Every structure is written in structure tokens, then in C-alpha cells.
Amino acid sequence: MAEDLADVAHFLWEAGTLKQARRTGWWMAGVRDPESVAEHSWRTSVIASVIATLEGADPARAAHMAVWHDSQESRTGDVNHLGRKYIGRKADPQEVTADQTDGMPEILRIAVRSVVAEYEAQESPEARCARDADKLECLLQGLEYKSQGYESAQRWVDNSRARITTASGQQLADQLLAQAPLDWLHAVMGEKD
């Protein structure tokens, strides 16, 4: 069995590179040190579990899809929408995942490939919740960057809000847009506005 897990161990090293891989779209907004793909994926997973719970879907499944939704970027990098214009096509996430999981034990290979395929197909409620979580996380990150003085992040806020489709995701977006980044802290501390 130890031999069978060598490629899994390789992938775990590879997945760690996402902790250093920056989300490149934020550079266009002037953000000097944007979040990493791993940071984005973590909060996307939390948001996916929240949206799925509110939508009556399986929160664990939605969070699982959100964990894997950008895992391919360890090989492709985070290519923003402008960059995709020049490279011809977006790398097929299922094709990249197939390469990433090629030498893994069959049970793991099938599980990872199926969760990525489900996310990409957008046919299940969990996949739609995970996709909305991706958009909501970008909106939230944009609001955080705006509060740090990066006014150009408004474009990402607006574009992300327009792409959210679930009722719970839309309601959460509206709540986030009505708040400031530290409103949660003031509420916890019992401070009045």
C-alpha cells in the first residue's frame, strides 16, 4: 500500500503550492499582496457549507466541492479573465484533475474526479451552492480590499454579486454589502454604532 500512496503524497506537496499562488485578478485592482488561492478556497468552503445549509442542500458535499474547485491552479496558475483572452481557452479543470490524480489509488482517483466533474456540471444543488460560494467569497474579498483603500475592487464586487444565483447567496451578498468589515467585532463587543 505504501507504494500506492506515493502519487498521493506528491499531490499533497503540489496542493501546498496553492498557499503561495496569488489570485492574479486583484493585481489589476492595485492590490500589492493579494490573497492566495488556498486562502480563497478555504473561505469558499466555509461559505459553501453555509449556503448549502440555508438552501437545504448537503453542506459537507458543497464544502467538499469548494475545496477542490481551484485545485487545478497548482498546475495552471490563477489565470484571470483578461489573461484567458490571450491563451485561447481556459484549461479544462476535469482534464487537469485527471492528470493530477492519474497515479492515485482508484478509489481516490474516482472520488476526486467525480467531485470536480459535479462542480463543473453545475447540475446539483450542492454544485450551485459551491459556485455561489466562490462568487460570494470574491465579493467579500473585494469589500475587504475596498476597506483597505483599493477602490478599484468595486468591479469585482459588482461582477461577483451579479453572478450569484441562489436565494441564500443573494441575501448574504446583500447583507455583506450593507456592512463594514469590522461590524461583526463591534456586535460581539456590544458596541453601538
pLDDT digits (tens, 9 = 90+) for 146-168: 999 999 999 999 999 999 999 99
Looking at residue 159, its pLDDT comes to 97
What pLDDT is recorded for position 186?
95
Q: Residue 166 domain-assigned?
A: yes
Q: Name residue, grid cell 451552492.
A: 129
Is the pLDDT confidence value at 30 over 70? Answer: yes
Report yes or no: 132 and 165 within 8 Å, Cβ to Cβ. Answer: yes
Q: In the structure, what pLDDT confidence band is assigned to residue 3 with cuts at 50, 70 and 90?
A: low
Query: What SS3 state is found at 193?
Result: coil
In the chain, the percentage of residues whose pLDDT exceeds 90 is 89
Task: List the one residue out of 100, 80, 90 whose CA is nearest residue 23.
Answer: 80
- Output b/e per residue, 65-80; b: 16+ Cβ within 10 A: bbbbbbbbbbeeebbe
Overall number of domains in the chain = 1
pLDDT(1) > 90:
no
Structural domain range at position 20: 3-188
Question: Per the domain annotation, does 163 fall within a domain?
Answer: yes
pLDDT-wise least confident of 42-46, 99-103, 126-130, 140-144 = 99-103
pLDDT at 192: 79
Domain assignment of residue 140, yes or no: yes
Higher pLDDT pick, 76 / 16: 16
110 occurs within a structural domain? yes
Retrieve residue 1's grid coordinates.
500500500
> Within a domain: residue 193?
no
- Say how far apart CA 148 and CA 146 lie, in whole Å: 5
Return the CATH number at 92: 1.10.3210.10
Positive or negative: CA dihedral 180, 184, 185, 189: positive
Instruction: Check residue 193 and give its pLDDT.
Output: 64
CA-to-CA dists, residue 184 to 11, 35, 191, 193, angstroms:
37, 21, 10, 12
> Chain-wide mean pLDDT for the chain?
94
Give the residue among 156, 155, 151 at the shortest CA–CA distance from 139.
156
pLDDT at 85 > cutoff 80 = no
Query: pTM (2 decimals)?
Result: 0.93
181 CB-near residues (< 8 Å, 6+ apart)? 143, 144, 147
| φ and ψ of 117, to 5 deg | -60, -40
Q: Is residue 63 part of a domain?
A: yes
pLDDT tens-digit series, residues 106-115: 999 999 999 9
